[in-house]
Amino acid sequence: MANTRAAVHVLAALIAAASLLPSRADAITPANLAALRADSQFTTEENLRANFDDPADFSVRIADITPTTTPQGTIVSGGLENLAVFGLSSVDSAFTRFTLQPGAHNLAHTHPTASETLFSISGTMDVFFVEANETPRLVESVLEAESVTVFPEGLIHGERCISDEPCEFISFFNTGDPGVVTVSERFCDLNPEARAAGLFLPQDQVNAICDGLGDNPAPNQPEQGERVLNDGPVEGVQVETPTPEAEATPTPEEEATPTPEEEATPTPAEEEATPTPEPVNNNRRNNRRRNTRRRNTRRSSRGSLIEPSPVSVAERHFTVHVRVHYSLDQL
């Protein structure tokens, strides 16, 4: 009797389990997958990827992406706007392909939500990033072809092509929407008072600078002289410099004015009338004083008697300031 009762219980359990199994009509098939996703409050990555039923949805040709182009180079950005699958949590990435002409800059910028891994294809670049205000320093290096560098999330960074051939590289981001903030352009979006306060310059000068900004990639700038943009010098903001002809052509007054050497040169009669001074017999004290002055002169010109050890780029900036103050103390 007990065995019969146990067998009935097992049979009832099997019948209940069989009723819970999905029927063929309830199985996940292409026919009912859309309805299943619509009825479900949560979904899986597999279900999300099922929305991309064309294999071509998982790839994109760089040539099909509209580039940003200037005479200094080309930028092709690949992200959510070009390939929707970049937004999947199982993908969540983006890329940018650059071509910089010799001397051109990819202007300093940040990616608010992404770190960047840069792979250099050809050419040689100067790459850099700067740390935040808490620990300010410039991290700069030279990147040759077939090399990789990284830029931490949110930090200002940039590149410049320093080779005689164009520089090509691809950057990969760890999110499908990295964003980009170009420092100079977004700074000029501030109100005039904030811009002038930030640069410690009158508003009209800052306005002239911001009105003359060009597009990215941008050309390298000379140490002095006229500003250079992608479309040539900017009118109204040039710095005038004298021409070599103007510097070399003396005025009539300058021609009539004797030079200090001409004033100090005695005539033959003055040389005969002027007695030759007796040679001075320098004693040891005078020699010591003269040697001390020479050492001080050498110390002031060098700024320090201690040869610096190899340091980073950021530490070199700090060393320069230390040397300047040390030289002033010697005066």
Q: What is the pLDDT of residue 226?
A: 87
pLDDT tens for each residue of 219-238: 999 999 888 877 643 333 33
Local structure of 66: helix, strand or coil: coil
- pLDDT for res 38: 61
Confidence of residue 300 (pLDDT cuts 50, 70, 90): very low
Q: Is the pLDDT of residue 89 over 70?
A: yes
Q: Which fold has domain 58-186?
A: Jelly Rolls (2.60.120)
Q: What is the pLDDT of residues 55-85, one digit of tens each?
A: 999 999 999 999 999 999 999 999 988 889 9
Give the pLDDT confidence score for residue 267 in this predicted structure: 57
The 10 Å Cβ neighbour count of residue 136 is 10
Output the pTM of the full model. 0.59
Rounded to the nearest angstrom, the gap between the alpha carbon of residue 160 and the centroid of all alpha carbons in its chain is 8
Q: What tens digit of pLDDT does each residue of 241-283 get?
A: 344 444 445 555 545 555 544 445 555 555 555 555 444 444 4
Domain boundaries, the chain: 29-55, 58-186, 296-331
Percent with pLDDT over 70 in the chain = 57
Of residues 223 and 304, more confidence is placed in 223
Q: Are 140 and 128 in contact (CB under 8 A)?
A: yes
Count Cα neighbours of 187 within 13 Å in the Cβ-side half-sphere. 19
52: Cα within 13 Å, side-chain hemisphere: 15
Q: What is the pLDDT of residue 319?
A: 38
Question: Residue 105 is encoded by which pair of tokens?
Answer: 């800059």
- Dihedral angle over CA of 183, 206, 140, 316, nearest 10: -150
Joined tokens for residue 119: 């792979």
Query: Two tokens at 89?
Result: 């949590």
Q: What is the pLDDT of residues 18-38, one digit of tens each?
A: 555 555 555 556 656 666 666
Tens of pLDDT along 113-156?
999 999 999 999 999 999 999 999 999 999 999 999 999 999 99
